Structure 1
Amino acid sequence: MNHNHLVFGAGLIGCYLGGAIALSGQSVRLLCRAKIQKNLQDGIKLTDYLGHQALINSIQFCQAIEQGATPFGIIWLTVKCTDVATACEQMQCFVDTHTRIICCQNGLGSEQIVKQAFPHNQVLRAMVPFNVVEMDKGHFHRGSAGTLTIESDNCEEQFVEQLIAQINSDLLPVESSADMDSLLWAKLQLNLGNSVNALADIPVKAMLEQRGYRLVVAGLMKELLAVTKAKNIVLPKVTAVPAQLIPYILRLPNILFKRVANQMLAIDPNVKTSMWWDLSRGKATEIDHLNGAVVQAGDRLNISCPANQKIISLIKSIQHGEVNAPKRPISAEQLYQLVFSEQN
């Protein structure tokens, strides 16, 4: 069965996702900013770190508000957490009772906004584990490993498996999960490094090659693991290494880290995180939905998360242009001192 898809808020991830869905023969339209649409007039080129590539010569678009718009069968919501509420208002004309909405946000909890806006629709979560960079106009490159995972429950299991069979490909590996809560906490553990990358102001691979930055990320993860343990959440493996071992590996000296962390370093050298892009462009970041989610959960459990709280403070001070905000790039040594000096 061929579904009509709308990728709503197509940025880096959304354009890559839309292009990959189009390759599968599905009907897909993108809703994106005018500048992005202009860059896609000649189509989309997709590549990945494994050498796969494809060209989509023609891309269909739609506008945020269309008179007499035809509802879509599937809407992939790819906006940032901070834009979900606004997106729900703009999506109204594209939704009917049969529309399924797939939320592709980082962090925790933003799907509740969608469920409140569309209480009669099936709302599913998706976990996007890979990074995408735009190498040139219309050329989107998946720079790291990972499988797009879509939430599956008893009601939607058949639909989700059918969808996966239709869109799964080398460029877009897809699978399902019946336990998205645990999976999203595991993804959140990895996303805690987004804020460090934004403060370091360098590509992710270069950041991971410096032990000082890794020590900060390990400290953030340690607090998350304390929270998930208290919540009795068993984190699934989303990398080759079990969640509990990742902080130990990050703390290794550089020479040992490079020997045992080949997959962590199997990242395109150009990749930077979405929070780096937001902070660099003066936009609101997703810090409250990432590190903030750890702090909020810790507060409810009476578990202190001072490293995550300090990182939140640093990001917001830069974001708001405060006089005493540190200047980027923040070196590994300086960031370590800023995060942990008060704890020692």
Structure 2
Amino acid sequence: MTDLAPLGWDPTRSADVPPGREPARVARVDRGLLTVLTAGGERRVHPSSGLREEGPAVGDWVALRGDLAVALLPRRTAFVRTAAGRTSAPQVVAANLDVVLVVDALGGPARLRRIERYLAVAWGSGATPVVVLTKADLCADVPAAVAEVTDAVLGVEVLAVSSVTGAGIAAVEALLPPGRTGALVGPSGVGKSSLVNALLGEVAAATGEVREADRRGRHTTTARELHRLTGGGLLVDTPGMRELGLADDEGIDTAYADVAELAGACRFRDCAHGGEPGCAVTAAVDAGALDAGRLRGWRKLQAEAHRQALRSDARARAAEHARVRSLHRAMRAQPNRPR
């Protein structure tokens, strides 16, 4: 077990490993196959049918029986979003993370609401978020840009980096000492793949150009993958996300701690912060102490999380109804059942 320490293994996990099974960490998930890292090196294994239903994610720890992954060990942290589509089912992007690196690019107007959305999900993951602003070589005033973002992300470290000049790369490396796991998350075109290559010191991820017409990038990373850095840390690269839906409201009030604190001082507990008497939130906006855009962002995420909770309840009810119907059908199919 001690040989697994460079892969992020915690000895307290030993109790979760079934007897006679070998722990391994998932580095990549492909159709029908898992690439895992073990004390003996990298291997390709098949997930059991039960494990396939659980949906192993990059960063997960699994238990192996030969070349078969048979069990998923409990997750300590997980970056979870809602999957695209009408069902909005939760989807684990990466698991067992220590740091979530929220990546956005310099060289244009700061996308504060987008960064705040990613931070809300990152705080909800249980890991520590850090904002990484790439393409510093394209920004005319890096300190001012960093200060603008820092003012909007209370309690979160903000780093500016350039994969071209190497500026700031060492600061990111310092976040990932041996055995510590981070994940890069952000939309396409913000420089995640270039940052991965800079951290690895080699071309491990394809990079693409950003369209000048709309400053939007293409998905150059097509699959999530766990990389081992030369300094001993581990890094999960993820494809760009066109949409990042909230799975719950777990991290919203942490990402918007200033708004949440003001909301707690409102006269009415059910205050909607829309001009009610004694509303501390709107009073702060009127006084210039709170940015109105930040309040709109908080309300938008709160409403989205509420809708997701309603959908989750509906899915749970539908699953229970399906279980009961299946049970009734099985009982009716029994040949000796009482008539």
| TM-score, length of structure 2 as denominator length | 0.29
Give the strand-richer structure, 1 or 2: 2
| TM-score, length of structure 1 as denominator length | 0.29
Larger radius of gyration: 2
